[in-house]
Every structure is written in C-alpha cells, then in structure tokens.
Amino acid sequence: MIPGYSIRRVEKQDYKGVCEALNALTTVGEVSKAQFDATVDHWNHSLVLPNLLQYHPYVILKDNQVAATGMLLIERKLIHGCGLVGHIEDIAVSPRHQGKQLGRALIDHLTSLGLAHCYKVILDCDESNVKFYEKCGYSKAGVEMQHR
Amino acid sequence: MIPGYSIRRVEKQDYKGVCEALNALTTVGEVSKAQFDATVDHWNHSLVLPNLLQYHPYVILKDNQVAATGMLLIERKLIHGCGLVGHIEDIAVSPRHQGKQLGRALIDHLTSLGLAHCYKVILDCDESNVKFYEKCGYSKAGVEMQHR
Ligand SMILES: CC(=O)N[C@@H]1[C@@H](O)[C@H](O)[C@@H](COP(=O)(O)O)O[C@@H]1O
Ligand SMILES: CC(=O)N[C@@H]1[C@@H](O)[C@H](O)[C@@H](COP(=O)(O)O)O[C@@H]1O
C-alpha cells in the first residue's frame, strides 16, 4: 500500500466516508445509517461457497478517513466447470485524494483477491478509463449494454 | 411465449439440457450431476433481500427439452439509494432451436423481471450482438474489461 494509507474491508463506522467517496462516481441518493448497516450486514453474511463470502467491499484509509472505496462481487456459474467470476464495481476515489494512485492500489487489491478464486475478473467502464485499466493488466472483452 | 415453447426456472432435472445449451455459448467443462445440483441449490437459497432471490436462472422448453437458458443475477449496492442492479448472464440457445426468436423471448423475460426490482439491468456482449440487444431495448453503456 502507498505510504500513509491502509486498506481493509468496509465497516459500519465508514458510513459517511463511503457515501462521500461514492458521490465522486455517481448519484448516491438517500442512504440512511440504518440502510447502510443493513447493507453491510448483508455483504458480511452472504456466501458464494460454503467458505467464501460473495461481497468484498473495501476502503482505503488515511488518518482514519475514507480516501477510496471499491467492491469485488463473486458470481457462481455453471460454465468453466462451475466456475466463479469476479465483478469489480463502484470504484470511487474521494476528490481530496485523487492523483495519488489510490485507484490503482484498489484495483490491484481487488483483482488479486478475485483471481485467487475466479477464472476471470471483469468490470465495466467508460471508454475514457480503458487506458487506466489496461495499465492494471485488463484488456477489452466486450460491450456493456444497459436497460433502464 | 412463442407457441409450443414454455419458460420456467431451472430445475435439477435440466442438468443435461442446460449444459448442452451452454456449450453453444462457451466452455462448460466438467460439471457432474452433484455439482449441478449443488449450484441449483445455491441459486434457490441465496437471497439479495429478505424476500427476493438473488439468482434467477431460466430455461425455455419445447417437448420437455431445454431449448435455451439464461440467468438474471441481482446485485445489492449502496449507490442510487441502496439500489439493485440486474446482471443478465449466460444466454445460450441450443443449436437445434436457433432462429426461432428464443433469445429475444428470454431477454424480454429476464429484463422485465430485473426492471421490477432494479434501477437498471446490464449485460456484456460481443460487438456483433449489439444490434440484437438494441432491438431488445438496450443501449451501449460502456466497455467490458477482463483480467484472466
Ligand atoms: C469499474 C467501475 O467502478 N464501474 C462502475 C460501476 O461499478 C458502477 O456501478 C457504475 C455506476 O453507474 P450508474 O450510476 O450509471 O449506475 O459506474 C461504473 O460503470
Ligand atoms: C449476455 C451474455 O450472455 N453474456 C455472456 C456472459 O454472461 C458469459 O458469462 C460470457 C462467457 O464468456 P467466457 O467463457 O469467456 O467467460 O459470455 C458472454 O459475455
């Protein structure tokens, strides 16, 4: 980890910091402390295999404050011999901590966690972020389509 | 549904048919009956909310045989007011049943199931399938990146 920063799983005390960091990515909207706690409880209890959690939400901290956050979600499939796929989601670096390679550190951490269990790790991003993810070892695999 | 065809959740009796259909999409590899059953059990028990299943695996049947299969996976996030996102995965039509609009019927079914609960439904596909998904109401949202 980058000097002065540390990384660990999201905890309930990270409520404000995680919501603030996520605001740099997209609309967070109304998330009460009770809803945050219920979501963290779900993430902490949901299993993808008898001995493997499904959700791996992380924060990078500096001086006890959330500087960045990101998620690895593990999906259980039939293809590839009942293989697992890791999905990296909701990567956000708080504006005060941008330009410090925290995104890179977070992606490296979640990717190696994912590849320890999954046959591949995937994520969706803007065309403008492709170069960044290529530096992290990723390559283009397809097109993300959405329906709202 | 298309005349002569029906749609329902995957059951354990669909072992052979589902594996055969998935072979049209990618490598299935070694999946024993016991592994299939354990995966279906997991899909049938894993909850994303207290009253909502997380995995929605479906088959389209004709004369009791699997003609197509596909999955809707629901992810629990913090963004968008603790929103849910639907992921459509592993869409496969068995070679004997191609050209009968089963892909379209499956996507329509999984998409409306997803939009009943989620603020968006997303999927990743080859550039060559973009036109098909546009006909299903989808639009391009980003680039899929992978690490293996
Ligand atoms: C690698 C990464 O962080 N990708 C994120 C995705 O995880 C997030 O859920 C989405 C939110 O966009 P939305 O607010 O339009 O749903 O943006 C990006 O695609
Ligand atoms: C909409 C749809 O069905 N997309 C599928 C995806 O769900 C599947 O998991 C992947 C398998 O590819 P792989 O064998 O290279 O992992 O192919 C496609 O992207």
> What is the tens place of the pLDDT at every residue in A38-66?
999 999 999 999 999 999 999 999 999 99
Residue B43, domain member (yes or no):
yes
Q: What is the mean pLDDT of chain B?
A: 97
Asked if B130's CB is within 8 angstroms of A139's CB, the reply is no
Counted domains in chain B: 1
Residue nearest to atom 8 of ligand 2 (CA): B90
> Is B37 within a domain?
yes
| Long-range own/partner contacts, residues B47-50 (CB < 8 A, 24 or more apart) | B47/A46, B48/A42, B48/B74, B48/B75, B48/B76, B48/B84, B49/B76, B49/B84
pLDDT reading at B99 higher than 90: yes
Q: Is residue B143 part of a domain?
A: no
> Does the residue A45 lie in any domain?
yes
Reply yes or no on whether the pLDDT at A67 is more than 90: yes
Whether residue B105 is contained in a domain is answered as: yes
Q: What angle do CA B130, B131, B137 make, to 5 degrees?
A: 90
Q: Which of A29, A42, A122 sits opposite B124 (nearest CB)?
A: A122
Q: If pLDDT is split at 50, 70 and 90, which confidence band does B10 have?
A: very high
In this structure, is residue B34 part of a structural domain? yes
Digit-coded pLDDT (tens) for B117-141: 999 999 999 999 999 999 999 999 9
Nearest Cβ partner for B122 among A18, A31, A145: A145
Average pLDDT over residues A87-91: 98
Residues of B in contact with A124 (CB under 8 A): 122, 124, 141-145
Ligand 1 atom at shortest distance from the alpha carbon of B77: 9
- Residue A72 is predicted with a pLDDT of 98
Dihedral sign of CA atoms A94, A113, A2, A39 in order:
positive
Q: Is B81 a pocket residue for ligand 1 (Cβ < 6 Å)?
A: no
> Which amino acid, one-letter code, is at A122?
I
Confidence of residue B76 (pLDDT cuts 50, 70, 90): very high
pLDDT at B102: 97
Per-residue confidence band for B88, with pLDDT thresholds at 50, 70 and 90:
very high
Q: What is the pLDDT of residue B37?
A: 98
Q: What is the mean pLDDT of residues A22-31?
A: 96
Q: How confident is the model at residue A81 (pLDDT cuts 50, 70, 90)?
A: very high
Partners of A73 on chain B (C-beta within 8 Å) are 75
Ligand 2, pocket-test mutation among B26, B111, B136, B145, most atoms within 8 A of CB:
B26
Say if A121 falls within a structural domain.
yes
**Rounded mean pLDDT of B8-23?**
98
pLDDT value of position B18: 98
Residue B1's pLDDT band (boundaries 50, 70, 90)?
confident
Residue B106: name the closest of B120, B95, B90, B91 by CA. B91
**Does a structural domain hold residue A26?**
yes
| Beta-carbon separation of B42 and A76 below 8 A | yes
CA distance B24 to chain A (A): 11
pLDDT for residue A59: 98
> Average pLDDT of A72-101?
97
From the list B29, B54, B81, which residue is nearest A81 (CB)? B29
pLDDT at A119: 98
Does B26 sit within 8 Å of A80, measured CB to CB?
yes
Q: What is the CATH number of the domain that holds A76?
A: 3.40.630.30
| Domain span including residue A71 | 5-135
pLDDT at A1: 83
Contacts of A78 in chain B (CB under 8 A): 18-19, 22, 28, 31, 36, 39, 90
